Amino acid sequence: MKNRNINTIALAITLAFSAGAMAEGMSKGDFSAGKDKISADYKTAKAHCNSLSGNANDVCMAEAKGKEKVAKAELEATYKPTQKSRYEARVAKAEADYGVAKEKCDDLAGNTKDVCVKEAKAAETAAKADAKAQMKTAEANATANEKTADARGDASKKTTEARMDASADKSDAQYAVAKEKCDSYSGAAKDSCLDKAKVTFQKQ
């Protein structure tokens, strides 16, 4: 029941965002109505969560809050379609997904829980890195379209740098996961695991 309600809300928000995006912006009245709908949907989802207990309630609330945050960011990006607002919507999605994943990790214990949290963080880091690279690439390309061949060369350079930064962020996050997994071992086995992780992710 919980998932069905939340998925219905998510679908409605997604459809509303898609329609708005195609129209490239919306009126102030539609924007205001969109905010009211998001608030109403959140209250409905929150009321449902209150019927649950323990970690199921925590997960449900994280999903409800996350979807509200994403919906607001996507509504803003539809109302004011800029590279920055689209980036912020992607970041909101990454943070919302992390919030839910982290709460789900609370059902676990010990090193399994630690690894779960690190993996959730790694996924968030990767999503944010991709969002940042996408924004920088779009901005660089927009500038290049307005200027000379030199600007296009600069755009290409910035795009390459953005992708390299994103790759480095993802690698660091995955390395953190690998190190956390090594904590399930001890002694020589742990040392070997850490050495392998360092080689794999090219760390000193």
pLDDT at 22: 40
* pLDDT of 157 over the 80 cut: no
Q: Distance between CA 55 and CA 134 in Å, rounded?
A: 35
Average pLDDT, the chain: 83
DSSP code, position 204: -
Residues 70, 88: Cα–Cα separation, whole Å = 9
Gap between the Cα atoms of 103 and 121, Å rounded: 12
**What are the residue ranges spanned by the domains of the chain?**
1-80, 108-204
Position 75 scores a pLDDT of: 95
The more confident residue out of 201 and 62 is: 62
Backbone angles phi and psi of 50, in degrees to 5 = -65, -15
- Per-residue pLDDT at 155 exceeds 80: no
Q: What is the pLDDT of residues 56-105, one digit of tens each?
A: 999 999 999 999 999 999 999 999 999 999 999 999 999 999 999 999 99
Nearest to 152 by CA among 143, 160, 144: 144
| Rounded distance between C-alpha atoms, residue 46 and residue 57, angstroms | 9
Q: What is the mean pLDDT of residues 174-180?
A: 88
